[in-house]
Amino acid sequence: MTDKPKPKPRTPRTILAALLAERQAGGEAYARADELLAQLLQKCEAGELIELADGRRFQVHDNFTKNGQPTNKAWKPCGLNRFDLKEIKRPPASKKG
C-alpha cells in the first residue's frame, strides 16, 4: 500500500487563485460555445432537428417563441449566489511633490 502525500493546507490566497483560474477557463469555454452556436445558426433554422452519431437528438430552440408564436419575453429560472467576489482596484499611486 502506498501512502498518499498529504495535501498542502490551502490559504485564502491559493483558494482565490484557483477559483479565478476556473472562472477564466469557464468563461473561455462559454465564449467558444457561443461562437460554435453562431456557426450552427448560420446552417440551421429554429425548430430544426439534428441527430448526432451517438443517437442523441437536439433541436434548435428559439427561446422567444411560445407555442410556435413569437413573444417579446422569455422567462427562465435564475439563481444568485449569496456570496460572490468583487474585484477591488488599487487606487493610483499618489505623486509626492
Same domain, 54 and 64: yes
3-state secondary structure of 2: coil
Would residue 28 count as lying in a domain? yes
User: Residue 70 sits in which domain range?
Assistant: 45-74
Q: Domain check: are 16 and 39 in the same one? A: yes
**Contact assessment for residue 92 and residue 84, using Cβ atoms and an 8 Å cutoff:** no
Residue 97 lies in a domain: no
30 and 20 in a common domain: yes
Tens-digit pLDDT profile for residues 26-37: 989 989 998 998
Q: Each residue of 78-96: pLDDT tens digit?
A: 876 667 767 777 778 877 6
pLDDT in tens, 39-49: 998 998 888 88
Regarding predicted confidence, which is higher, 16 or 89? 16
Examine the domain organization and report whether 39 and 21 are in the same domain: yes
Residue 79 lies in a domain: no
Contacts of 62 (CB under 8 A, 6+ apart): 46, 47
Please count the structural domains in the chain.
2
